[in-house]
């Protein structure tokens, strides 16, 4: 039996080693991620330094779009709280209705018992004895009378308990109703703030577009935007190169042609198609969709960037391991922060027009070791073409 002991010891040793290795991998990745965040903050500071009137307008646009994303996230949170509060209020109302029904039923039962007691003539024990009836019958009647009194007392006590429970529920309903009203007022204020910020964004965007109306300036703008993204992705690749993504799951490279699209919509610009008067090409897919449409992660991974990047708006990048990353740009709001784990199909953002888009849409890329690859080769099914 000694070899059984050694096998068990070896298995436990391997299990402990695996746990230790996983913890080491996680700690190493966390350290690299923290270093990456510091490097990105420095890069963002350099990229966003104000150099002229257009840059000031870009800064105003960024502030407006960031505020809009924050407000929408707060509105979503308040809506969720409102739904919970409404559900709790409905439960309390249901309990109150049930208790009131029991109260009416108990009142009727007590009334019947009082009437029955009156019909019995409210005979006392002494009166029953003085009637000189058969002793066995007297004993039996006294027992019945005791049962009757006990039953009446129980019903009265139950009735009093019902009244007490109603007294406890009524203040809770009033409190819940008041909280519901406060949440509705807060939601209304947030919507007003959102409308103001959206109006400011439109004004800033109009000024910005007027300042770069000619094609050469538009090309310069697109080129700078792409350079910013390339610098960011290069920083991410350099920081995480050689690191294995902690955790287990199906490898990204085994899912070619089987990944879901991040949102529903139609293709406005396909991978590799011409942009900026044919002087540039698209490194990803632009998907037209209604503002507020859910954006979902295409695969398990970890968020390595969740912030605003000029030219790409509210941007989220997920590391899927093996050198693969997915990129989601121009979002209306972001629901994940750097360091968060995400699962395939999990909502990570909403479709928007941040980054200066005139129409809502999601820009989606898949990269391998920093190089763009056609998402249509990775995602199953086809999105509707531009029409």
- Please indicate, yes or no, whether residues 285 and 386 belong to a single structural domain of this protein: yes
Instruction: Give the number of domains in the chain.
Output: 2
What are the tens digits of pLDDT across the range 348-371? 999 999 988 889 999 999 999 889
- Please indicate, yes or no, whether residues 192 and 292 belong to a single structural domain of this protein: no
- Please indicate, yes or no, whether residues 163 and 223 belong to a single structural domain of this protein: no
Per-residue confidence (pLDDT) for residue 262, from 0 to 100: 97
Per-residue confidence (pLDDT) for residue 52, from 0 to 100: 46
- Please indicate, yes or no, whether residues 231 and 158 belong to a single structural domain of this protein: no
Per-residue b or e along 8-43, where b marks 16 or more CB atoms closer than 10 Å to that residue's CB: eeeeeeeeeeeeeeeeeeeeebeebbeebbeebeeb
Question: What DSSP letter does each residue of 222-272 carry, written as one string?
Answer: HHHHHHHHHHHHHHHHHHHTTPPPSS----GGG-TTTBPPSS-SEEEE-TT
pTM, two decimal places: 0.67
Q: By residue range, what is the domain housing residue 344?
A: 215-242+253-387
Ranges under pLDDT 50 in the chain = 1, 3, 5, 17-19, 50-53, 121, 126, 387
Per-residue confidence (pLDDT) for residue 341, from 0 to 100: 92
- Please indicate, yes or no, whether residues 219 and 200 belong to a single structural domain of this protein: no
Per-residue confidence (pLDDT) for residue 377, from 0 to 100: 95
What are the tens digits of pLDDT across the range 124-156? 554 555 555 555 555 555 555 555 555 656 666
- Please indicate, yes or no, whether residues 352 and 268 belong to a single structural domain of this protein: yes
Query: What's the DSSP call for residue 383?
Result: P
- Please indicate, yes or no, whether residues 106 and 199 belong to a single structural domain of this protein: yes
Length of the chain in terms of residues written:
387
- Please indicate, yes or no, whether residues 125 and 233 belong to a single structural domain of this protein: no
Per-residue confidence (pLDDT) for residue 285, from 0 to 100: 96
C-alpha 273/C-alpha 277 separation (Å) is: 11
- Please indicate, yes or no, whether residues 178 and 145 belong to a single structural domain of this protein: yes
Q: Is residue 195 part of a domain?
A: yes
CATH of the domain at 305: 2.70.70.10
- Please indicate, yes or no, whether residues 191 and 327 belong to a single structural domain of this protein: no
């Amino acid at each position: 039996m000694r070899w059984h002991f050694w096998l068990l010891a070896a298995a436990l040793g391997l299990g402990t080693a695996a746990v230790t290795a996983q913890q080491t991998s996680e700690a190493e990745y966390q350290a690299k991620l923290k270093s990456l965040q510091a490097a990105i903050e420095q890069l963002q500071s350099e990229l966003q330094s104000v150099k002229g009137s257009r840059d000031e307008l870009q800064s105003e646009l960024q502030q407006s779009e960031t505020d809009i994303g924050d407000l929408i996230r707060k509105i979503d949170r308040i809506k969720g709280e409102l739904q919970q509060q409404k559900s709790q209020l409905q439960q309390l109302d249901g309990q109150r209705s049930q208790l009131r029904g029991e109260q009416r039923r108990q009142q009727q039962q007590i009334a019947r018992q009082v009437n029955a007691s009156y019909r019995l003539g409210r005979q006392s024990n002494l009166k029953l004895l003085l009637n000189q009836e058969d002793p066995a019958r007297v004993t039996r009647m006294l027992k019945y009378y005791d049962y009757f009194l006990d039953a009446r007392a129980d019903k009265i006590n139950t009735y009093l308990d019902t009244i007490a429970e109603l007294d406890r529920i009524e203040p809770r309903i009033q409190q819940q109703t008041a909280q519901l009203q406060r949440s509705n007022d807060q939601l209304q204020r947030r919507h007003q703030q959102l409308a103001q910020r959206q109006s400011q964004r439109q004004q800033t965007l109009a000024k910005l577009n007027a300042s770069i109306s000619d094609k050469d300036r538009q090309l310069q703008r697109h080129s700078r935007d792409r350079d910013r993204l390339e610098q960011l992705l290069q920083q991410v690749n350099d920081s995480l190169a050689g690191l294995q993504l902690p955790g287990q799951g199906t490898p990204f490279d085994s899912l070619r042609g089987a990944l879901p699209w991040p949102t529903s919509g139609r293709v406005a610009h396909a991978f590799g198609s011409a942009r900026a008067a044919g002087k540039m090409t698209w490194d990803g897919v632009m998907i037209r969709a209604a503002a507020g449409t859910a954006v979902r992660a295409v695969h398990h991974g970890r968020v390595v960037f969740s912030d605003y990047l000029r030219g790409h708006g509210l941007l989220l990048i997920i590391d899927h391991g093996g050198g693969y990353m997915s990129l989601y740009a121009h979002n209306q709001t972001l629901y994940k922060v750097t360091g968060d784990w995400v699962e395939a199909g999990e909502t990570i953002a909403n479709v928007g027009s941040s980054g200066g888009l005139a129409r809502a849409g999601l820009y989606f890329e898949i990269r391998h070791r920093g190089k763009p690859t056609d998402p249509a080769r990775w995602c199953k099914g086809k999105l509707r073409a531009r029409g």
